[in-house]
Amino acid sequence: MKLITRDTDYAMRALIYAAKEKNKRVNVRDIVKEVKIPRPFLRKIVQLLNKKGMIKSYKGKGGGFTLARKPNEIYLMDLIEIFQGPFSLNECFFKRHICPNSGTCFLNKKITRIEKHVLRELRPITIASLLGKEKN
């Protein structure tokens, strides 16, 4: 289990790069070069970020993208949900069937407590905070 997948990591790094450039348009070529994200992955990520309203995309000469939101309004949890789905550390091994022991399982209770703690720590993280522009 990974807390943050490759796609979420790449999306976060691309958005941080765009945030550093302020309101200037950035293009995939520059991000590939500067951030070292493979082009095929980045193109897919940028398309999804555009679809989800995280960035504004511009086509043609001088094209690229800008952030659609302020860096302090883009949360890591938003990216996790876009690229990984709802956050959960506590998945039963038998995903299609409800575990008959879920109400009494000691491990389930511990993992649920850990999950709540992790969520409390992750929720306030924004692109701005990763740039050091705000406190977490």
Output the CA torsion sign for 42, 45, 50, 51. positive
**Domains present along the chain, CATH in parentheses:** 6-87+126-130 (1.10.10.10)
Higher pLDDT, 63 or 130: 130
**Is a pLDDT exceeding 60 seen at residue 135?**
no
Q: What is the pLDDT of residue 3?
A: 85
Higher pLDDT, 55 or 60: 55
**Cβ contacts of 136 within 8 Å, gap of 6 or more:** 124, 125, 129
Q: What is the pLDDT of residue 1?
A: 60
Q: What is the pLDDT of residue 86?
A: 87
Cα–Cα dist 104/98, whole Å: 13
Q: What is the pLDDT of residue 106?
A: 77
